[in-house]
C-alpha cells in the first residue's frame, strides 16, 4: 500500500542493495541485504520529520517503491551518481506553483528505471541531468508542472553527456512543457540516443521542445556564437494529444551546434480547441515517418561535423 511522508529528508551516501518501501506504520525501513523487512532488528529505520528531500548519493542497487512524497521544499526524490536504481509505484505531489519542486531528479546516474508513478509538482515531473545513461521511464502520469526534461545541460560551461534514454507509455497533462531537452549556450557535451514513445498529451503547452538557448553567457565553451552541447539521434514516436499553445513542436537549436538526426514518427498534435497547431525549427535536421501533424519543419539534410581534436565539441562545417 502507499504510505505518505509529510515531507522528510533521507540522505543516503555510499549505500548498496537497499530498499525503501511503503509500510503500514509511520516508519520507513531500509535493509542492507536488499529486501525491506520491518521485522528484522538489523533494519535501519528512518522517521519522516519535516525536512526537505529524499536523496541517494553514490548508491548501487537501490529500490524505492510504493511511497507517497508530498510538499518538498525542493526536489522530492534525487539520485546522484547512483547505478541500478528502481523508483516504482510512487505518488509525488506538491502545489502547482511551488518552485523547484522536481518530482524525481536523476543526476549523473546510470541504469535507472522509473516506472508506474503519479507525479504532480510545481517543476519537472522527472529531470535527467549531468552525465546520465541508460535511463528508462515508463507508465508515468505527469501533471501539472513543467513536464519531463533532459537538462539543462552544460550550465556554467560544464561538460554533460546524457545518452541512451527511453521514455514510453506516458500521460502528460496541463503542464508548461511536454517532453523537453534544454541546454545552456555556454556548455559542452551532448544529448543523444533518446526515444520518446507512446505519449499522450492533454492540454500541454510546448508538447515537444528542444531549447538550446536556455540561458546566455558571453563566454561560450568550445564553440563560437552559442551552445556547444550537441543534440542528436532523438526519436519522437507515437506522440498524440492536444496542445494548449498554437505551437506544438519547437526545435530551437544552436547555430554553432545544430540538432541532427531528429525523427518524428506518427506524431499527431492539435490545439485543445481542435484547430491546427504549428511547428517551429531553427537549425534542426532530420526526417519524418508516417503521418506527422503539425507538418514537420525539419531540414532534410544533416549538417556535416568536423572533429577537431575535441570529439563532439568540435566546430561544425557548413552543411
Q: Which residues are catalytic?
A: 123, 146
Contact 228, 200 (CB under 8 A): no
Closest CA to 192 of 164, 153, 150: 164
Name the nearest CA neighbour of 69 among 39, 105, 34. Answer: 105
Kindly report whether the peptide bond that precedes residue 144 is cis, defined as omega within 30 degrees of 0: yes
Tell which residue, 135, 130, 187, has the closest CA to residue 161.
130
Are the C-beta atoms of 275 and 247 separated by less than 8 Å?
no
Q: Report residue 104 as a C-alpha cell.
A: 524525481
Indicate the DSSP class of residue 305.
Answer: B
Report whether 206 contacts 233 (CB < 8 A).
no
What DSSP state is assigned to residue 318?
P
Give whole-number Cα distances, 68 to 44, 75, 83, 201, in Å.
19, 14, 22, 24
Q: Are strands 67-70 and 91-93 parallel, antiparallel or unpaired?
A: parallel
Instruction: Name every residue whose Cβ is closer than 8 Å to that of residue 146 and which is 6 or more positions away in sequence.
Output: 122, 123, 124, 125, 175, 176, 177, 180
CA distance 182 to 155: 10
Residue written as grid cell 492540454: 203
Q: What is d(CA 188, CA 221) in angstroms, rounded to the nearest whole number? A: 6
- Strand 27-30 and strand 44-47: the pairing is antiparallel
Amino acid at each position: 500500500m502507499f504510505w505518505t511522508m509529510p515531507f522528510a529528508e533521507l540522505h543516503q551516501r555510499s549505500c548498496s542493495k537497499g530498499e525503501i518501501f511503503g509500510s503500514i506504520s509511520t516508519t520507513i525501513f531500509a535493509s542492507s541485504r536488499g529486501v525491506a523487512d520491518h521485522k528484522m532488528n538489523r533494519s535501519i529505520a528512518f522517521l519522516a520529520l519535516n525536512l526537505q528531500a529524499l536523496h541517494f548519493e553514490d548508491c548501487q542497487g537501490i529500490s524505492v517503491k510504493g511511497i507517497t512524497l508530498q510538499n518538498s521544499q525542493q526536489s522530492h526524490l534525487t539520485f546522484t551518481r547512483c547505478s541500478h536504481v528502481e523508483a516504482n509505484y510512487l505518488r509525488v505531489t506538491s502545489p502547482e506553483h511551488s518552485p523547484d519542486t522536481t518530482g524525481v531528479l536523476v543526476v549523473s546516474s546510470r541504469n535507472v528505471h522509473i516506472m508506474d508513478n503519479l507525479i504532480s509538482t510545481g517543476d519537472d515531473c522527472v529531470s535527467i541531468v549531468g552525465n546520465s545513461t541508460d535511463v528508462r521511464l515508463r507508465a508515468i502520469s505527469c501533471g501539472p508542472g513543467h513536464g519531463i526534461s533532459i537538462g539543462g545541460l552544460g550550465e556554467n560551461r560544464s561538460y554533460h553527456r546524457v545518452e541512451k534514454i527511453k521514455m514510453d507509455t506516458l500521460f502528460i497533462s496541463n503542464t508548461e512543457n511536454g517532453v523537453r531537452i534544454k541546454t545552456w549556450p555556454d556548455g559542452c557535451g551532448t544529448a543523444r540516443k533518446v526515444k520518446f514513445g507512446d505519449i499522450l498529451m492533454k492540454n500541454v503547452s510546448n508538447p515537444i521542445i528542444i531549447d538550446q538557448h536556455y540561458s546566455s553567457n558571453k563566454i561560450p565553451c568550445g564553440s563560437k556564437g552559442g551552445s556547444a552541447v550537441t543534440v542528436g539521434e532523438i526519436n519522437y514516436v507515437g506522440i498524440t494529444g492536444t496542445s494548449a499553445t498554437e505551437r506544438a513542436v519547437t526545435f530551437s537549436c544552436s547555430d554553432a551546434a545544430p540538432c541532427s538526426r531528429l525523427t518524428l514518427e506518427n506524431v499527431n498534435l492539435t490545439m485543445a480547441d481542435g484547430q491546427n497547431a504549428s511547428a517551429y525549427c531553427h537549425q534542426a535536421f532530420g526526417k519524418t515517418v508516417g503521418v506527422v501533424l503539425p507538418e514537420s519543419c525539419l531540414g532534410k539534410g544533416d549538417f556535416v561535423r568536423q572533429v577537431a581534436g575535441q570529439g563532439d565539441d568540435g566546430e561544425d562545417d557548413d552543411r
